[in-house]
A and B are shown apart, each in its own frame.
Chain A
Amino acid sequence: GEDVEQSLFLSVREGDSSVINCTYTDSSSTYLYWYKQEPGAGLQLLTYIFSNMDMKQDQRLTVLLNKKDKHLSLRIADTQTGDSAIYFCAESPASGGSYIPTFGRGTSLIVHP
């Protein structure tokens, strides 16, 4: 079955860039997502990328997709303490009409001053 893997923790200094990495196994993935979960809150969709794209930029967020290596990354420029949260990578398949995403375990981003 599909699998999504990401590292569990990332610690950065305020003002630095953060790069959160994710690998997935499903070669038929159509959409790849990054969700953010702040303490006590639900999963908030941050950004998504279609599998026919290599890169997507949205203000401080840059998503890079290497489809050959099935590698997705999220770069946060000028990381702030408010960016501290758990970041989930997810992918949903192209086939079968299913829109159900498969999630990774989440990466805890810790931003320290």
Chain B
Amino acid sequence: EPEVTQTPSHQVTQMGQEVILRCVPISNHLYFYWYRQILGQKVEFLVSFYNNEISEKSEIFDDQFSVERPDGSNFTLKIRSTKLEDSAMYFCASSATGNVLAKNIQYFGAGTRLSVL
């Protein structure tokens, strides 16, 4: 079964450093998403991406965050200057085009645990 893959599974970084979290969505999917889950809290939406541009973003997704689809397979989340409060599990997801149901059914990766020290 096709799946969304994320690398690395765990990233440790120093406060102020830049990190890039990588995702390979399911190959025929065209909608991509990033979510995060701070330990013990809810899964929170960060950003959605379609047709090479951001289609929706939350208040969390401020200027220190950016997303990119550098080639035909990868989808990345960059955090420019990490803060302690960026420590969380970051999930990538993708969904297909087509009808409303297809767009609503999102497939998630296993996540990258980001630890900012």
Contact = CB atoms under 8 A, between A and B. Distances in A.
Interface of A: 4, 30-31, 35, 40-45, 48, 88, 90, 92, 98-106
B43 A45 contact: no
B91 A43 contact: yes
A44 B104 contact: no
A4 B41 CA distance: 12
Nearest to B47: A100
Interface string B81-117: 0000000000101010000110111111111000000
A42 B106 contact: no
A-side interface mostly: strand
A43 B43 contact: yes
Contacts, number: 54
B4 interface: yes
Given A103-B44, A106-B43, 4 more contacts: A42-B108, A45-B106, A103-B43, A105-B40
B29 to A, nearest CB: 13
A92 to B, nearest CB: 6
A14 B72 CA distance: 45
A88 to B, nearest CB: 7
B48 interface: yes
Contact of A100 (B56, B101, B110): B56
19 contacts: A4-B42, A30-B104, A31-B104, A42-B6, A42-B109, A43-B43, A43-B91, A43-B93, A44-B108, A45-B106, A98-B56, A99-B31, A100-B56, A101-B106, A102-B45, A103-B42, A104-B42, A105-B40, A106-B42
